[in-house]
Amino acid sequence: MLICLTYILLPFALISFGLIHKGQHIFLILSSIVIMAGAVRSWSLRAFGIYAACWFLFLRIGEMAGIVNRTQAVRAMNSTIYMIVAFGIYLAIVYTPIKKEKIFNAICIGAILQSILGIIQSFNFYPVIWFVGKLTHIDNPLMGEVTGSLGNTTFLGGFLAISLPFFFREKWLWLSVFPAYQILTLHSSGTAAAALVAVVVYFKQWKVLIAAVVMGIVFLVLFESSNIFTNPRWGFWLNIIKKICASPQSFIIGYGPGHPTGYNFPIHNEWLEMWFNYGAVSIFMAVIYIKNIYREDKILLAGFAAFIVNSLANYGWHLAPSGFLILIIMGLLEKEKHGGLSYFSKLNRRGAERG
């Protein structure tokens, strides 16, 4: 099957419009993402990978033909390469021989280190900046901010909220005070909501749900009542929604990866950004993926639920630590559900049975 796929994609290597290496780049990137998507058992993820590859192909050929802005074509290429890396990490987790308990332990250790670094930063001491400052002059733009190594308070909060369920194990439960303390003291409503959802999904009890709602209301009243409804994000979220609904095309298939949103930063909402770039088609695929997700492992499910909620007000996919953590969770969920067998393995097994 891989040989057939290679011959199907080979003609794209000859598309050059005067520059043969551009066609070769298209072939390399396109074949990489299609092959990696084909190794994924989840049909919705597999379909999204192929759909993204089609967008990339259209934009790159359009750029060479002079009908697509070069800036967007380059951004689309960067986005697609990022997706290839993501698929690679995802598949590495699916097929890793490392036991999931050891991976859980590594996640907890990472969260503890980030929490301790944040606690140290709350005293206006930044170890990394201090060390670099011994080697060369450096200004500290983070003075007064608790960011861990993620560079932003909400980034740190999102990472810790997604990591929190991995502490709900016998030997690690008492160490959950580190991320829990940071989550409470960061005063971020998005972080608090993600953490509360993780707790509710893990314990699945009405008493826990009621307690979580009460805690959420208290948190909003104490820390967020003055600015949650006046946050400027509401303004650019509404603007993005207007752009999405500007035409049937933009609503259904989006503007394509790399298309400028009008802001020089991610819009702090992964769902809206995905809709803007890939349209309602991508949202449908995401909903199907969530609907069919493996639900037997409470820790992984709770971590994934925290990610879904955090993505409503943050952009974890665009951050290396959070993105890596999310891919670990998704990879382990597929491994638990399918036992590490790829779609290609499934096809080979069917062929062997017929033979």
Could you report the per-residue pLDDT of 271-311, keeping only the tens digit for each? 999 999 999 999 999 999 999 888 889 999 999 999 998 89
pLDDT interval class at 349 (50, 70, 90)? low
Average of per-residue pLDDT across 242-266: 89
Q: Find all residues with CB under 8 Å of 266, minimum gap 6, and list them.
A: 273, 315, 318
Tokens 């994000």, located at residue: 233
pTM for the model stands at 0.85
Tokens 């033979």, located at residue: 355
pLDDT value for 1: 53
pLDDT interval class at 163 (50, 70, 90)? very high
Q: How far apart are CA 158 and CA 148, in angstroms?
A: 12
Length of the chain: 355
The structure tokens listed for 338 are 């399918």
- Give 3-state DSSP helix, strand, coil % of the chain, rounded to 5: 75, 0, 25
pLDDT value for 20: 56
Question: What value, to the nearest 5°, has the Cα angle with vertex 136 and ends 134 and 138?
Answer: 95
Indicate the average pLDDT of the chain.
82
pLDDT tens digits for range 129-148? 777 777 877 776 666 688 88
Check pLDDT > 80 for residue 355.
Answer: no
Q: How far apart are CA 31 and CA 8, in angstroms?
A: 10
Q: How far apart are CA 201 and CA 293, in angstroms?
A: 14
Amino acid at 317: W
Check pLDDT > 90 for residue 261.
Answer: no
Q: Beta-carbon neighbour count of residue 252 at 10 Å?
A: 13
Average of per-residue pLDDT across 134-163: 82
pLDDT value for 26: 78
- Reference 313, options 86, 155, 140; nearest CA is 155
pLDDT tens digits for range 186-230? 878 788 888 988 988 898 765 666 666 666 656 555 555 445 666
pLDDT value for 298: 92
- Reference 72, options 61, 87, 84; nearest CA is 61
Name the CA dihedral angle for 241, 245, 247, 252, rounded to a multiple of 10 degrees: 90
Query: Are the beta carbons of 75 and 257 closer than 8 angstroms?
Result: yes
pLDDT tens digits for range 57-89? 888 888 877 888 888 888 888 888 999 999 999
- Per DSSP, the three-state class of 351 is helix
Of 22-31, 94-103, 182-191, 315-324, give the lowest mean pLDDT range. 22-31
- Reference 190, options 237, 144, 143, 149; nearest CA is 237
- Per DSSP, the three-state class of 148 is coil
Average of per-residue pLDDT across 168-195: 88
**DSSP 8-state symbol, 10:** G
